[in-house]
Amino acid sequence: MAIATAATASDKEQADPSPARMVDLDWLSSKIEYRLYQECVHCGLCTASCPTYIETRNENDSPRGRIYLMRAVADGRLGLSPEVRNHLELCLDCRACESACPSGVKYGRIIEPFKVAMERSAKDVPGSKSSLLQKLILHHLFPYASRVKLALAPARILQRFGLIDWTEKVGLTKLLPPTLRRLQAMLPRLKGTGFSKLPETLPPIGPKRARVGLFLGCVADAMFPETNAATARVLQQNGCEVVIPRSQACCGAIHYHSGAEEPAVELARKNMEAFKPDEFDAIIVNAAGCGAMLKEYGHLLPKADHEAGERFSAKVKDISEFLVALGPIAPTNPLPQTVTYHDACHLCHGQQIRSQPRQLLSLIPGLELKPLEESEICCGAAGTYNLTQPEMSQRLGRRKAQHLQATGADTVATGNVGCILQIARQLKEAGSPMQVAHPVDLLDQAYRGKAPKA
């Protein structure tokens, strides 16, 4: 078995104790229990599910190869050379390997703190860190919905007058820095002003069945506020009193997945204070990435806060998960269209939620649900991966778009804002007329009997 060739470093490299090749092993051992490495028996059943291995066929880009590399670094047998870093940074953290693993390896609990360790040591490694612009966007813009809304205000005006489409046609967007060019390519059709707010409390329609808190998110709330509004209306239709705390914050995933642990912990504490779990039957999330992060607070927080984090996480439910458990009220208005469903990674792999979104879609009169090949293979969005690893993201996005178009469906539904942005971009570049929507948007239309405004 050819595995982890990057681990066969030269004797000189292994003997080199320079900071550029080292990681704080004491810190690493405090964050990752050594048995987690040992649970992987390198059987290889994960490789067929790993998007990067499917594309590169390089064992270093497979889950078992990466675990081999990380364990070698943790043992002090291997330094964090640029080659090793590249293989680890190429990981999408989609956790498809967890779904495939017969041994129950918790890959996410290895790779995520390991990336934090790499970030902590990255200041000494030339070229290993994200650009300053990426850092500003990821850590100081995206996690704050109000800042994103302000930043998008000029784009709303340009879209209204058709100027963005014009700049694309004449090639002016090519003058932008690569990061901004990729962001512009993913920009959805922005609706409304972007600054309207939902009330803090919304009453149930009909008999009250539950009291829930609604988590709005950051980028999702700024770019798709209509989906948050649709989520609130769907909950009301199902007899829920909906509470939207004003003091809620970003879930922390953007920081944590890019190696910034401390800000992620602070955001977690803000959300635990905003959503007091004893006051709600459930804390509802409509974005897969946010849901997976919120459900990990018990693991993310320091040991002293584990119990409080786990109590909070126990109340977190994806909108589809919650409604199916509650017993959804079937809509009566037909929605005559064909729809295919893409499994967002942090919904199907991170939270093991697969059937519930399909069950909700099947309730809609007139809607035909079509199967999708490789539905559980990542589309290449993976949070901010399409900014930090654009080449692999593009490869995976095109692969996904080809499978989507092969279904012949009118619409692709998916439960994560990152997937919506990535898939819409790839379909647009492919010249496909397919629309992209959140399942809750379609359910809301069927309840209300209204098609969305263009």
Task: Examine the pLDDT at 38 and tell me if it is beyond 80.
Answer: yes
358 or 14: whose pLDDT is higher? 358
Number of CB atoms found within 10 A of residue 329's CB: 16
- pLDDT tens per residue across span 117-143: 888 776 555 444 456 777 788 888 888
Nearest-angstrom CA–CA distance, 141 and 37: 35
Q: Are 213 and 244 in contact (CB under 8 A)?
A: yes
Name the strand (E) or helix (H) holding 102: none
Task: Name the CATH code of domain 201-324 (choices 2.40.30.170, 1.10.287.110, 3.20.20.370, 3.40.50.1860).
Answer: 3.40.50.1860
Q: Give domain limits for the chain.
A: 5-124, 132-186, 201-324, 330-448
Question: What pLDDT is attached to residue 183?
Answer: 76
Pairing of strands 367-370, 337-341: parallel
Question: What pLDDT is attached to residue 67?
Answer: 96
Query: Residue 453: pLDDT band by 50, 70, 90 thresholds?
Result: low
Length in residues, the chain: 454
Question: What pLDDT is attached to residue 9?
Answer: 42
CATH 3.40.50.1860 fits 330-448, yes or no: yes
In this structure, is the dihedral angle defined by the CA atoms of residues 99, 102, 108 and 114, taken in order, positive or negative? negative
Question: What pLDDT is attached to residue 2?
Answer: 47
Calculate mean pLDDT across residues 363-373: 97
Nearest-angstrom CA–CA distance, 251 and 431: 34
Question: What pLDDT is attached to residue 17?
Answer: 45
Q: Which of 4-8, 205-209, 436-440, 446-450 is predicted with the least confidence, judged by mean pLDDT?
A: 4-8
Query: Residue 362: pLDDT band by 50, 70, 90 thresholds?
Result: very high
CA distances from 358 to 75, 157, 369, 375 (A): 44, 36, 8, 12
- pLDDT tens per residue across span 224-260: 999 999 999 999 999 999 999 999 999 999 888 877 8
Nearest-angstrom CA–CA distance, 419 and 399: 13
Query: Residue 1: pLDDT band by 50, 70, 90 thresholds?
Result: very low
pTM of the model: 0.89
- pLDDT tens per residue across span 67-98: 999 999 999 899 888 999 999 999 999 999 99
CA distances from 212 to 121, 244, 349 (A): 41, 9, 25
105 or 3: whose pLDDT is higher? 105
- pLDDT tens per residue across span 289-346: 999 999 999 888 988 899 999 999 999 999 999 999 999 999 999 999 999 999 999 9
179 or 109: whose pLDDT is higher? 109
Nearest-angstrom CA–CA distance, 246 and 144: 13
Task: Examine the pLDDT at 3 and tell me if it is beyond 70.
Answer: no
Query: Residue 21: pLDDT band by 50, 70, 90 thresholds?
Result: low
Question: What pLDDT is attached to residue 130?
Answer: 54
Query: Residue 451: pLDDT band by 50, 70, 90 thresholds?
Result: low
> How large a percentage of the chain has pLDDT more than 90?
66
Mean pLDDT of the chain: 88
Question: What pLDDT is attached to residue 377?
Answer: 96
Nearest-angstrom CA–CA distance, 279 and 150: 33
Q: Are 357 and 413 in contact (CB under 8 A)?
A: yes
Nearest-angstrom CA–CA distance, 121 and 23: 6
CATH code given to domain 5-124: 1.10.1060.10
Question: What pLDDT is attached to residue 297?
Answer: 94
Nearest-angstrom CA–CA distance, 47 and 65: 9
Topology agreement, domain 5-124 and domain 330-448 = no
Question: What pLDDT is attached to residue 216?
Answer: 95
CA angle 145, 148, 152 (to 5 degrees): 140
Task: Examine the pLDDT at 403 and tell me if it is beyond 80.
Answer: yes
- pLDDT tens per residue across span 154-184: 888 887 877 877 887 777 777 777 777 777 7
Question: What pLDDT is attached to residue 10?
Answer: 37
Q: Which of 27-31, 36-40, 344-348, 362-366 is predicted with the least confidence, judged by mean pLDDT?
A: 27-31
